[in-house]
């Protein structure tokens, strides 16, 4: 089962001892002492007082090491670490012959590439395994998450335990997935500010949110694809729910810059059972799916792919999630039916919300900045249209902001001037970052009921979990996880 090693980025012996204690509290099973990043180290003291098993690393400068030194000095430090009882030392393949092995410590033999992903990682792993490594480590840099796929076959194929890391943002998911596919361990940072390699996750997050310690061959795989996805709340929300549901599953995020069709096909083959899909791949996800439900077809976009017997089914959980916010605000679907709803925006979110709202029986008025786009959506849905700057005098019961106005970093924006907010109406902002948008603050001041976007976000995620697992999620807990994540930013 997955072991997390906290890679320490500290300057001296005392800081390293403190950091090892923090690593233990973070749930790490090991700590990596990066001697090349330290200005001073006392190996004897470090190894005598270590609260955790350690990997002692003195990285060569051309393999990403912090500072250069004589090769003899570097290897002497590693040999001494073994003599003093270090559980592991990490040495580059080219330097292995010079290492003096003693004690029971095991030797991790590593290959790093900070620029690219080698053509034949399997061959590389075989070569390292055949040259006397106790553990093989390959840390390479993909330019697309598709490149990471060969990493997942290494642990099963290799005669020695394997550590397989895709570095950088395109490899971030591999730091968790490799454990699912049998990697010996994975590295995490003590905090986001203390990374020792690009793309590292915090060790506490790996052991806590992602339950790295429990990842193994039975763990079910889910994820989100988009570009960008770095700030997605979905991993926090989904993984929190899985833990509460006691579901042996993990949800990871993938920045997929292009080729979403190929990504979905090949990660499905790898064993993924469901994908959340976000900007800009929602249309492509629908087009490449084997099957689609009415919502996804009518909206023309999928935010969810559910894999059933190897086939991807496209659905859209945004529509119901948006409608349900208004159903709750009006205290019942029958009370919502017949109301006039002003839908601000004509992008993907507006399309989903508009389709759902019309099915819920509302009278819909679409308003958009770009008249042509707004008019087209209104026509397709069978709704009325108004230009965004021509809303004076329009009577409505509820307004839905499905534009990106008000969203971080453009928090000063609002799609509806304060004087056009009618007292007694419901103002629902699908934007949830920040939670309290200018539109919602002004709505409250004007005596309207403000509904924030987090409820919709949680509902669309809960609906995905239901589709993927057949089980109800924990919306309240998911909401708390989302809010916590937003607050920590």
Where does this chain bind ligand NAP (CB under 6 A)? 279, 318, 345-350, 368-370, 373, 388, 402-405, 407, 415, 430-432, 453, 456-457, 460
CB of 423 to ligand NAP, least distance (A): 24
Is 291:313 a contact under the CB 8 Å cutoff?
A: yes
Of 24 and 441, CB closest to ligand NAP? 441
CB of 229 to ligand NAP, least distance (A): 13
Of 171 and 415, CB closest to ligand NAP? 415
Catalytic entry in 36, 90, 112, 160: 112
Of 45 and 410, CB closest to ligand NAP? 410
CB of 310 to ligand NAP, least distance (A): 28
Of 252 and 346, CB closest to ligand NAP? 346
Strands 106-112 and 135-140: parallel
Concerning whether 281 is annotated as a catalytic residue, the answer is no
Contacts of 11 (CB under 8 A, 6+ apart): 37, 38, 39, 40
Token pair, residue 398, equals 């509820």
Helix (H, G, I), strand (E, B) or coil at 50: coil
CB of 348 to ligand NAP, least distance (A): 4
Which run of H or of E encompasses 155? helix 149-157
Q: Beta-carbon neighbour count of residue 363 at 10 Å?
A: 16
Concerning whether 363 is annotated as a catalytic residue, the answer is no
Query: How is the beta sheet containing 186-189 ordered, strand by strand?
Result: 162-166, 135-140, 106-112, 88-92, 54-57, 30-34, 4-8, 186-189
CB of 395 to ligand NAP, least distance (A): 22
Catalytic entry in 36, 90, 318, 320: 318
CB of 352 to ligand NAP, least distance (A): 7
Of 81 and 241, CB closest to ligand NAP? 241
Residue nearest ligand NAP, Cβ-based: 347
Of 293 and 318, CB closest to ligand NAP? 318
Q: Beta-carbon neighbour count of residue 106 at 10 Å?
A: 16
Is 37:13 a contact under the CB 8 Å cutoff?
A: no
Q: What does the alpha-carbon distance between residue 19 and residue 213 come to, in Å, rounded to a whole number?
A: 20
The alpha helices in 360-452, defined as continuous H runs, are 371-381, 438-445
Catalytic entry in 282, 293, 320, 339: 282
Which run of H or of E encompasses 137? strand 135-140
The catalytic residue positions are 112, 137, 282, 318
């Amino acid at each position: 089962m997955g072991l997390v090693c906290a890679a320490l980025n500290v300057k001296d012996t005392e800081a390293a001892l403190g950091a090892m204690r923090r690593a233990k509290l973070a749930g790490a099973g090991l700590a990596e002492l990066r001697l090349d990043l330290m200005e001073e180290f006392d190996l004897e003291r470090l190894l005598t007082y270590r609260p955790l098993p350690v990997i002692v690393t003195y990285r060569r400068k051309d393999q990403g090491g912090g500072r250069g030194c004589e090769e003899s000095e570097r290897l002497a430090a590693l040999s001494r670490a073994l003599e003093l009882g270090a559980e592991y030392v990490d040495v580059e393949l080219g330097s292995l012959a010079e290492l003096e092995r003693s004690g029971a410590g095991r030797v991790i033999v590593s290959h790093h590439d900070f620029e690219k992903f080698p053509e034949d990682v399997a061959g590389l792993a075989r070569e390292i395994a055949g040259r006397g490594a106790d553990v093989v480590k390959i840390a390479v840099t993909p330019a697309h998450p598709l490149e990471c796929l060969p990493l997942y076959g290494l642990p099963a194929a290799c005669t020695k335990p394997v550590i397989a890391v895709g570095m950088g943002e395109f490899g971030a998911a591999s730091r968790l997935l490799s454990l699912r596919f049998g990697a010996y361990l994975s590295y995490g940072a003590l905090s986001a500010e203390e990374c020792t390699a690009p793309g590292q996750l915090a060790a506490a997050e790996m052991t806590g949110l992602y339950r790295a310690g429990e990842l193994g061959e039975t763990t079910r795989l889910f994820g989100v694809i988009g570009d960008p996805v770095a700030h997605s709340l979905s991993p926090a929300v989904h993984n929190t729910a899985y833990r509460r549901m006691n579901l042996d599953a993990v949800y990871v995020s993938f920045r997929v810059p292009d080729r979403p069709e190929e990504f979905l096909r090949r990660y499905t083959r790898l064993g993924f059972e469901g994908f959340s899909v976000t900007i800009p791949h929602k249309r492509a996800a629908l087009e490449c799916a084997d099957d689609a439900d009415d919502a996804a077809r009518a909206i023309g976009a999928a935010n969810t792919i559910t894999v059933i017997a190897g086939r991807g089914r496209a659905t859209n959980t945004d529509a119901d999630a948006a409608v349900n916010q208004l159903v709750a605000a009006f205290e019942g679907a029958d009370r919502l039916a017949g109301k006039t709803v002003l839908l601000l925006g004509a992008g993907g979110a507006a399309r989903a919300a508009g389709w759902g709202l019309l099915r819920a029986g509302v009278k819909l008025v679409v308003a958009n900045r770009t008249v042509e786009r707004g008019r087209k959506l209104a026509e397709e849905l069978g709704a009325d249209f108004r230009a965004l700057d021509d809303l004076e005098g329009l009577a409505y019961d509820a307004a839905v902001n499905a534009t990106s106005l008000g969203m971080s970093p453009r928090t000063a924006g609002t799609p509806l001037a304060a004087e056009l907010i009618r007292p007694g109406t419901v103002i629902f902002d699908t934007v949830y970052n920040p939670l309290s948008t200018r539109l919602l603050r002004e709505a409250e001041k004007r005596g309207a009921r403000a509904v924030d976007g987090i409820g919709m976000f949680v509902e669309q995620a809960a609906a995905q979990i239901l589709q993927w697992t057949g089980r109800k999620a924990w919306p309240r807990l998911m909401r708390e996880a989302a809010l916590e994540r937003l607050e920590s930013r």
